[in-house]
A and B are shown apart, each in its own frame.
Chain A
Amino acid sequence: MFTVRALTGDIAFVDLPNAAQDLVTLTLSVLIESIGFVIFGILLSVLVQVWIPDRWVIKVLPRNAAARRMIISVLGVLLPVCECGNVPLSRGLIARGFSVPEAMTFLVAAPIVNPVTILTTYQVFGFEDGIFVARIIGGFLIANLIGWLFSQHPQPARLLTERFSAECTVVNHDHSHDRNTKWQESRNLFARESAAIAPALILGAFIAGLVQVAVPRAVLVALGSNPVWSVLALMALAFIISICSNIDAFFILPFASTFMPGGVVAFLIFGPIIDIKMLVMMRTTFTTKTLIHITAVVALMSAVIGFLVNFYA
């Protein structure tokens, strides 16, 4: 592979138009940016599912469901994986015995309530306009709300895709009977998680790149000074650009003078949880209907928090 890439390095097989060339560049950029986190997330998922004893993962948490979710929503502090890596990690947590709402709570909270995101957001905004505080508290609240809402579902397992449910059954079965050595389990699991996540990552990166090439940025920026549209426009921007939560504060900083602070907050809360790339990746685990519900709740709550910040800031 390395040889093929070395041989083809500077050969222009086709002369692509600028927009198509940029689509390739943007897609590749997202993939290179994400691949390290995805590999890290898959390895953590393997670690959680195969190597960490039950008493560390499940039994140490409080028995009360709400308290458990609150603790889980700050697990991102201990497992600071970027949002792309949180998908395989969440799959690992479900396979290991977390309930579906608990894994959702982690998936929603971890990109925001983690040390890297907290530090970069504070570094960029400090306490100005309440953006930093609103983001961290907002992310925590939305994660717990999502967890509580889906815990009311009579059959939470139906929130998962049938394929992933079947895989969980097999993983638990394998684990309980210890058919393979832990190393063999780890190898198989790495292969299975790669098969589930890698195609989704590539498709998500491609769609994110395609939308970036197709939607003029000026359309969104033009809406920035309106208290309502600034929130909605920046949520749309967050959805489109699919940027990593660890650095989104740096990205949005130049827009801060154009958009109202509530828009910036909505961008910083909505984007890490829901964007094109994440939806495609989450579809490996959750049904389309579940994702629509999650997206609706997160969008609504992000917008409400954004409007409140605009009103009070």
Chain B
Amino acid sequence: MPDLKQYQGLVLIGVMATITLWLAATGQLELYISPRHTIFAVTMSAVGLIAVTISAMHVSPGPPRAVRRRVPRFLSGAATALTALVTAAMTLLPPATLTSATATQRDINSTIVPADESTLLTDTAPDAAAANLSLADWASLLRQSTDLAFYDGKTVRATGLITPDPDDPDNVFYVSRFYVTHCTIDAQPVGVPVYLPDWNSTYDADQWVELIGTFEANGSLSSSQAIAVAAQTIDTVDEPSDPYIYR
């Protein structure tokens, strides 16, 4: 009689490999890892699935259990239950991006994100250059300067999800995205602050929007941001298929 514990490992590896392949097949793997790592993850998952299948068909009795259990039964049971719960969540919950909760928890624009040097603005750069800037570029610029003269005449066009400013959540929000190097574990939130009193009567946190506006002095007294975008238009949009900015 084969040891069921051996099948447990094969089942778990099989579930993880299958989910990886399914996400890749449906174009959603990028919600979790960088596209640069897709080939490796998919290849090894396929190899793993083959190995699991072959092992499961021919597995023979495992080593004898001559080992005294030291882990209390309730701990072992809790670990098994937790493993089952995580596996069920992986299998049943729809794929999702990180939300504004993590953006707030990780402190938007708290780290420097490498900007595309070709798009960095100078005082003398034409205003049209601003149209090519990504949210990561704007975040880099905001860390370099909050001098309104620098931003004068430059229009911000950005798409991202709404994250309330923790210092003034009723009047200021960020249009934000996550900058990801490898996977969501290293995701860093970047964004531009928008001053719009009572914004949550019109929009919801975590809603994706397309913002057009210009920087002005932040009208909020409690926000830590010196300048913020005064919006010309804010249109709600669907979450894009590539919600993260990958390095």
Contacts and interface: CB of A to CB of B under 8 A. Distances in A.
B70 A194 contact: no
A128 interface: no
User: Main SS of the interface on chain A?
Assistant: helix
A159 interface: no
Contacts of A1: 14-15, 18, 91
B41 A5 contact: no
A203 B99 contact: no
A212 B183 CA distance: 14
B21 to A, nearest CB: 7
Given A11-B94, A166-B66, A198 B16 contact: yes
A33 B181 CA distance: 12
B90 A28 contact: yes
Contact of B183 (A16, A30, A221): A30
Contact of A33 (B6, B13, B183): B183
B1 to A, nearest CB: 14
A123 interface: no
Nearest to A179: B60
Given A18-B99, A32-B29, A39 B13 contact: yes
B92 to A, nearest CB: 5
Contacts, number: 242
A13 B92 contact: yes
A32 B59 contact: no
Contacts of A184: 58, 60
Nearest to A189: B55
B181 A22 contact: no
Given A13-B93, A21-B99, A194-B9, A39 B67 contact: no
Given A22-B101, A33-B182, A170-B63, A9 B26 contact: yes
Contact of A6 (B6, B22, B51): B22
B62 A202 contact: no
Interface stretch (B105-113, B194-202, B215-223, B234-242): B105-113
A29 B34 CA distance: 10
Interface in A137-185: 162-163, 166-167, 169-171, 180, 184
A199 B14 contact: no
Contacts of A265: none
B7 interface: yes
Contact of B111 (A2, A32, A205, A254): A254
B119 interface: no
Interface string B196-213: 000000000010000000
Interface residues of A, number: 80
B98 interface: yes
Report whether over half of chain B's contact residues are helix, strand or loop; otherwise say mixed. Answer: helix
B54 interface: yes
Given A166-B67, A242-B185, A195 B91 contact: no
Contacts of A194: 6, 9-10, 12-13, 52, 55
A12 interface: yes
A72 to B, nearest CB: 25
B107 A218 contact: yes
Interface stretch (B79-87, B124-132, B148-156): B79-87
B68 A35 contact: no
Nearest to A251: B186
Contacts of B93: 12-14, 16, 24
Contact of A221 (B20, B82, B110, B181): B110
Contacts of A33: 32-33, 37, 41, 182-183, 185
B44 to A, nearest CB: 3
B172 to A, nearest CB: 17
28 contacts: A1-B18, A5-B19, A10-B94, A21-B99, A22-B98, A22-B102, A24-B89, A29-B185, A31-B90, A32-B23, A32-B183, A36-B41, A38-B13, A166-B65, A180-B60, A192-B6, A194-B13, A195-B5, A195-B9, A198-B9, A198-B12, A243-B182, A247-B186, A250-B181, A251-B181, A251-B182, A254-B111, A257-B112
Interface of B: 5-10, 12-23, 26, 29, 31-33, 37, 40-41, 43-45, 47-48, 51-52, 54-56, 58-60, 62-68, 70, 79-80, 82-83, 86-87, 89-102, 105-107, 110-114, 181-186, 188, 206, 247
Q: Please name the 5 residue pairs, one residue from A and one from B, whose CB atoms are nearest each other, closest first.
A: A195-B9, A194-B9, A36-B44, A254-B111, A18-B101
